[in-house]
Amino acid sequence: MANTELERAEKRYAQAKARLQALKNREATRQRKLETRRKVILGGALLDLAERDSGVAAMVDRLIRNLAREQDRKAFAEWSAPSATPPPPDPETGS
């Protein structure tokens, strides 16, 4: 009987270990998806700002030119830094 009880305990241990690993995997996947979403949102906001601000456009252009991987640079082949006009003056400060 002790042998059967030991086998049952080992089986429960293995199942618990598998459940724990599955939970860890789900959390890692959730974190990767969240990180990707943040990058997409921030990248979109940066490109939108680059369309309105020539200084930001120049910075984005520099970032693209300094990308290490050729395939990453190719993704921006058709993008060019727009000739943005300076931001309108702040009505409160007049500048």
**Cα–Cα distance measured from residue 77 to residue 21, given in angstroms and rounded to the nearest whole number:** 42
Element (H, E) at 3: helix 2-52
Residue 84's pLDDT band, with cuts at 50, 70 and 90, is: very low
Residue 29 lies in a domain: yes
CA distance 24 to 7: 26
Task: List, for residues 9-18, the tens digit of each pLDDT value.
Answer: 999 999 999 9
Which pLDDT value is given to residue 86?
A: 55
Q: Is residue 42 included in any domain, yes or no? A: yes
Amino acid symbol at 46: L
In contact, 50 and 84? CB cutoff 8 Å? yes
Number of domains into which the chain is organized: 1
Q: Find, among 48, 46, 51, 56, the residue nearest to 84 by Cα.
A: 51
Residue 50 lies in a domain: yes
Does 94 map to a domain? no
* 5 pLDDT higher than 80: yes
Q: Which domain, by its residues, includes 49? A: 2-74
Establish if 79 belongs to a structural domain.
no
